[in-house]
Amino acid sequence: MNQGLATVIGMTIAYAASFLGLILAWRSYKKHHSQEEEKP
Amino acid sequence: MNVTFTLLDWLWVALFLLLMIGSGVLFYRLGKRSESDFFLAGRGLPWWLPASSVYATHTATDTPMWITGVIYQHGMAGIWYTFFSAWAAISSFVSTRIFRRSLAYTQAEWNVVRFTGLGSELLRGWMAGWQFFMNMFVLGWVGIAMGKVCEFLFGWPTWIGLISFSLVCAIYVLAAGYWGVVMADFQQGIIAFLVIMIVSFWGIFVAGGPTGIIDKLAALDMMERINPFAFTGWWSGSFPAAWFVTMLIIAVLGGFGMGTSIDWYVEAQRIQSAKSVRDASYSIWWGTLLGLVRNSVWAVSILAFFVLFPGMTETADYEMGWFRLGFDYLPAGMLGFFFAAILAIHLSTISSHLNLGALYATRDLYQHYVNPKADEKKLVQVGRISTVILLLGSFFYGLMMEDITSWLIFALWIMAAGIWLPNILQVIWWRFNAWGYLSAWIANLGFSWLVVWILPELGVIPELLDYQQFWLLMLLGALVFIPVTYLTKPESMDHLVHYYVMSRPIGWWGPVRREAERRGLITPAGDLAGLAAELSRPDDAKRK
Amino acid sequence: MPFIRRTWTAIEADEWTKEDWIAIILSPLSYVLLTLGVALSLLLLWYGYVMLIVGIILTAVLHWVIDPKLKAISAEYEKKQQDYLYELEEKVRWKHFTREEE
């Protein structure tokens, strides 16, 4: 495998993991936020 | 080379592995008590235990290969490459103290202690995802190094060395969590330190002792190799002084921040496992010093290897130099002991990253984002499942992606360059906020690619030297995160005051401090002077 | 008052003082001198011995200066630690959420 492709694949996995964490955080924050708003 | 082991050699290896698995069984009951036990040994360790873990974890199978590489290539000046861990010098008395007071389990969790709102949560999620991946990656990288060592020694296919010893390690990490890690690290640290000393001194002796090494270097007309300041000029060559200065700044000033070195994330866990702020400080300071002193001994033994085998040009040939000193020259019966020490070096790194990756998966991703109501039993169970996922993922990285692994090491270093300054600012500047910090992380993704690969490839800029890349990435990052910080609101004053009173950070915290004083949460500085004068009076005067 | 304070009240120890800055300066110097000192002493070079000895002295001074302060900080902080841990556990379970947002 050439150097450039190897780096692209590796970095993509690294950032995919980070973005997954970010999305999980966003969903969770929104969920708790809306729960708080629904409370009287 | 293929090494032939005698029965005594295998006995050493078996004895050592039993000792390690035994520590898992012994501490099984403690590890399973709670999340805090499985990941932080109940926050009750005296400084020397996490210190030995700092030392043992950062002595990996690939460390002697890497250090051999830089010393063989640059002579004693190469020791500055190993000096990156000196971030602990200032950190031990600054950011370690501040982080310990935050009580955050992980650096990801620290984000919600320091910042607030959506930005802080996004940072936590981002960092947890990143660290889960990173630990899997490091496991694969270190694992394949062990595979290569076994291939070199016994002619085994690389997968055997990678999988078999990581599996042994997983037994005690799964059983006892961080208790198993830290107790095994203590034993492994002692064994590894002793054997590194024995093999290194043996190598120095074989090369004719210190005077023999110097005489041979003189005969080779390479006396500059004992000069730690022999650079290739100020700005150019394979090791310019500008790179030395850059490395020193990154390491030393980086101690004011958190995460300025990739090792910080491992140390963060050790800091929180220490029983007090003082124990946390000393664990980082002494654990790192032990590593630095070990590097010094290694460096001299590699000079010994250099005079024994000068003129090697291929990295693959000389990077195994230190291992060769042991396996070529140690007497029969001692080889197994040496191999057991290599296993100690290997297992201590693997165990730490298995438990640390599982910590991010459990505390930050599972407990905080998936199931906040999980009880302690469930959390320990998730910790164990995450450990298994990390283990399997590391096999994938190690076996299928060896090329990627080697290039990613460099890519990750470059990644760290753009967030070096924000990592410091988050500690020392009250106005720096979650959005500024998050923008720095994401902007750096684009900039590092542009500066290191895309623009040089397109011929827009020349290929830059390491130190040029670092400063350019730092500047480009600042052009993004400083405007973002000022264009978004500061963190809420309530939150900042609470954080300030708890962590007592160093640096520019004036408005927050004044607010804390106004609320009566902190004694004003002026009043402290009076208190100090009162204290300095002799006891009998005070009584009057 | 002596130049280096070795008696601290909890409130004073929480402040960043010159003792901290002395530690911040001495600590990297100790690391550099001990790293080079050990390596160059092993090569039996006289300046290696000098670096090593100075490094050991600086390390001793560093600890002499900072240890009383670290002890005072630790003792004070441990009293508050349980409350802070409770807050952290609330936060991880999102129980803090309403209060933070207000």
**Res C102: pLDDT:** 40
C-alpha torsion sign, points B498, B503, B504, B507: negative
- Rounded Cα gap, residues B189 and B195, in angstroms: 10
Instruction: Test A18 with B134 for CB contact under 8 angstroms.
Output: no
Q: State the average pLDDT over residues B431-437.
A: 97
Mutate to test the interface with C, among B74, B285, B306, B493 (most CBs of C within 10 A): B285
In this predicted structure, the answer to whether residue B544 has a pLDDT above a threshold of 50 is no
Q: What percent of chain A has pLDDT over 70?
A: 65
In this predicted structure, the answer to whether residue A38 has a pLDDT above a threshold of 70 is no
3 state DSSP class of B45: strand
Task: Tell me, yes or no, if B44 comes closer than 8 A to chain C by beta carbon.
Answer: no
Residue C102, classified by CB atoms within 10 Å of its CB into exposed (0-12), middle (13-18) or buried (19+), is: exposed
CA C24 to chain B, closest CA, distance in angstroms equals 5
Q: What percent of chain B has pLDDT over 90?
A: 60
| Chain C residues touching residue A33 (CB < 8 angstroms) | 97, 101
pLDDT digits (tens, 9 = 90+) for B156-186: 998 999 899 999 999 999 999 999 999 999 9
| Chain B residues touching residue C73 (CB < 8 angstroms) | 97, 277-278
- B4: its two tokens: 């032939």
pLDDT digits (tens, 9 = 90+) for B452-470: 778 888 888 888 888 888 8
Residue B120 to residues B123, B415, B426, Cα–Cα distance (Å): 5, 21, 12
Q: How many domains is chain C partitioned into structurally? A: 1
In this predicted structure, the answer to whether residue B314 has a pLDDT above a threshold of 70 is yes
CA dihedral B448, B453, B456, B462 (to 10 degrees): 60
Compute mean pLDDT per 10 residues along chain C, 102 residues long, and list them: 83 92 97 97 96 98 96 89 90 72 42
Does residue C1 lie within any of the structural domains? no
- B453: its two tokens: 């690969």
Task: Tell me, yes or no, if A1 comes closer than 8 A to chain B by beta carbon.
Answer: yes
Question: Among A11-20, B29-38, B227-236, whose mean pLDDT is lowest?
Answer: A11-20
**Res B412: pLDDT:** 64
Residue B508: DSSP 8-state? B
3 state DSSP class of B190: helix
Contact B323, B152 (CB under 8 A): yes
Query: Which residue from B minimizes the CA distance to A1?
Result: B403
Domain ranges of chain A: 1-40
In this predicted structure, the answer to whether residue B35 has a pLDDT above a threshold of 70 is yes
Does residue C81 lie within any of the structural domains? yes
Closest of B283, B265, B294, B296 to residue B359, by C-alpha: B265
- pTM of the full predicted structure? 0.92
Contact B153, B2 (CB under 8 A): yes
Residues paired with residue B508 on neighbouring β-strands, in sequence order = B429
B480 φ, ψ to 5°? -100, -55
Place of tokens 């890497």: B66
Q: How confident is the model at residue B543 (pLDDT cuts 50, 70, 90)?
A: very low
Mark out chain C residues that contact chain A at CB-CB < 8 A. 94, 97-98, 101
**Res B411: pLDDT:** 59
Contact B61, B166 (CB under 8 A): no
Q: Between residues B155 and B358, which one has the greater pLDDT?
A: B358
Residue B507: DSSP 8-state? S
CA C53 to chain B, closest CA, distance in angstroms equals 14
- Rounded Cα gap, residues B148 and B62, in angstroms: 10
Q: How confident is the model at residue A36 (pLDDT cuts 50, 70, 90)?
A: low
**Res B141: pLDDT:** 84
CA C56 to chain B, closest CA, distance in angstroms equals 12
Closest of B516, B517, B502, B507 to residue B431, by C-alpha: B507
**Res C58: pLDDT:** 98
Q: How confident is the model at residue B529 (pLDDT cuts 50, 70, 90)?
A: low
Place of tokens 């550099």: C32
Q: State the average pLDDT over residues A5-28.
A: 84
**Res B139: pLDDT:** 92
Residue ranges matching CATH 1.20.1730.10 in chain B = 7-25+45-400
pLDDT digits (tens, 9 = 90+) for B219-274: 999 999 999 999 988 998 888 999 899 989 999 999 999 998 889 999 999 999 99
**Res B540: pLDDT:** 45
CA A37 to chain B, closest CA, distance in angstroms equals 15
CA dihedral B210, B212, B217, B219 (to 10 degrees): 160
Task: Tell me, yes or no, if A22 comes closer than 8 A to chain B by beta carbon.
Answer: yes
Q: State the average pLDDT over residues B2-8.
A: 80
Cβ neighbours, 10 Å, residue B493: 15
Residue B157, classified by CB atoms within 10 Å of its CB into exposed (0-12), middle (13-18) or buried (19+), is: exposed
CA dihedral B339, B341, B345, B346 (to 10 degrees): 30
| Chain B residues touching residue A24 (CB < 8 angstroms) | 125, 129, 365, 369-370
Mutate to test the interface with A, among C93, C97, C99, C100 (most CBs of A within 10 A): C97
Of C16, C67, C100, the CB nearest to B506: C16
Contact B182, B49 (CB under 8 A): yes
Residues paired with residue B274 on neighbouring β-strands, in sequence order = B45
Place of tokens 């607010």: B515
The whole domain housing C72 covers 17-101
B45 φ, ψ to 5°? -90, 140
Q: Which positions ≥6 away from B115 have C-beta within 8 Å?
A: B123, B433, B434, B437, B491, B495
**Res B530: pLDDT:** 55
Of B129, B404, B441, the CB nearest to A10: B404
- Rounded Cα gap, residues B270 and B135, in angstroms: 16
| Chains touching chain B, criterion 3+ CB pairs below 8 Å | A, C
**Res B541: pLDDT:** 44
- Rounded Cα gap, residues B451 and B447, in angstroms: 6
Of B369, B406, B449, the CB nearest to A24: B369
Q: State the average pLDDT over residues B345-368.
A: 95
| Chains touching chain A, criterion 3+ CB pairs below 8 Å | B, C
**Res B538: pLDDT:** 46
**Res A3: pLDDT:** 62
Domain B7-25+45-400: what homologous superfamily?
Sodium/glucose cotransporter (1.20.1730.10)
**Res B519: pLDDT:** 92
